[in-house]
Amino acid sequence: MSAHANLERRRQAIYGWLLLSPAAVLLTLFAFYPSVATLWSSLFSRGTRRKPTEFVGTENYAELFADPTFWIVVKNNLLYAGITIPVSIFIALSMALWANGKIRARGFVRTAYFTPTVLPMIAAANLWLFFYTPGLGVLDQIGSLFGLPSVNWLGQPETALWAIIIVTIWKEAGFFMIFYLAALQTIPADLKEAADIEGASRWTYTRRIVLPLLMPTTLFIAVNAMINSVKLIDHLFILTKGGPSDASKLILYYIYEMAFAFFDAPSAAAMTMMVIGVLGIVAAVQFLYLDKRTHYQ
C-alpha cells in the first residue's frame, strides 16, 4: 500500500475517534464506570461501625436468592412485563393502523393518543389516583350507578398490581403508536395499490406487507418497553408505594428501598447487577435473533 493511502487511512481513523470521543467520555463517566463500580461494591459486605466492609464474593447474591420478598418482586415484575409489553404494543399497533387509515381525523387522533406521553409521570399518576380512589374516584362513581360495591383498587393485594399495569399500558400505548404512525408513513401508498390489484384483502396486505415492514419499529419498541418495565418507579411512589404487602412492588422500587430505606447498598448493587445482566441478555437475544428476520429499508 502506498504511503499516501496509509496516511489517508490514519487520518480517517483519527477523525472517527474524534467524533466518537465526546459520547465515549460521557458514557464512560456516567454509564460504564458506575456499572463497574456497582459490580465491585456488590461483592463486598455491608459495613457497620464495628464490622468494616470486607470482600464476600457472591454472598450478597446468595442472600438475595434466599429473600422471599425478592422473589415476590421478581414475580411481580415478570407479570408486569409479560402483560404490559405485548398489550401496549398490540394496542399501539391497532391504534396506529386505524388512525393511519382515517385521514380526516388523523391529526386529532394522534394528539389525543399522545397526550398521556406528554403528561409528567407524577401528574399522570395523580390523574389515575383520581380514577381509582375508593368512594370518590371516577371508577367507583360509575360503579355505584350500576349498584356495584366500592372497590379499593389500589389498596388490596389482588388488584393493586393490575391497576398499575393498566396505568402503564395507558401511558405507553400512545407513545408507541407515534412510532408506528411514523413508520406507516414511510410505506409508499402504491404498495397498497399493487396489492389491491393482485387481489389481496386488507388483512392479507396488513399481514404480508405492513407488519413485516414495521418489524424494525416493533423491535425497537419491544426493547424500549422491556427497559421501561424495569424502570417504573414514579407511579409506584404516588399510587401504591409498592403495597399492600409488596403486592405491587417492582424491582426498581425494591432496589430504591434497599439502598435508601434499609441502607443496604451492597444488596441494592447486587440486584442492580442482576437487572443489568438480564436486560443485556434479553436485548442481545432480541437483536441477534430478530434482527436476522427483520427487513431494514
228, 240 Cβ separation under 8 angstroms:
no
CB of 226 to other proteins, least distance (A): 24
Q: In this complex, which beta carbon is closest to other proteins, that of residue 121 or of residue 219?
A: 219
* Torsion angle of C-alpha atoms 73, 74, 79, 82, degrees rounded to 10: 140
Q: How far is the CB of 193 from other proteins (least distance, A)?
A: 5
The rounded distance, in Å, linking the Cα atoms of 261 and 69 is 15
Give residues in contact with other proteins (CB under 8 A): 188, 190-191, 193-201, 204, 208-209, 212-213, 215, 295, 297
Q: Closer to other proteins by CB, 111 or 204: give it.
A: 204
- What is the 3-class SS of 271-282, one letter each residue? HHHHHHHHHHHH
Nearer to other proteins, 18 or 197 (CB): 197
164 or 213: CB nearest other proteins: 213
Cα dist from 97 to 90, 101, 108, 177, whole Å = 11, 6, 15, 9
Cis peptide before 266 (omega within 30 of 0): no
* Residue from 248, 230, 228 nearest 238 by CA: 248
Residue given cell 403486592 in the structure block: 247
Closest-CA residue to 231 (of 121, 88, 87, 123): 121
Between 158 and 196, CB nearer to other proteins: 196
Under a CB-based contact definition with an 8 Å cutoff, are residues 230 and 81 in contact?
yes
Q: Cβ 292 to other proteins, closest distance in Å?
A: 13
Work out how close the CB of 104 gets to other proteins at its nearest, in angstroms, rounded to a whole number.
13
State the minimum distance, in angstroms, from the CB of residue 39 to other proteins.
41
**Smallest separation, CB 198 to other proteins (Å):** 3
- Of 144 and 204, the one with the shorter C-beta distance to other proteins is 204
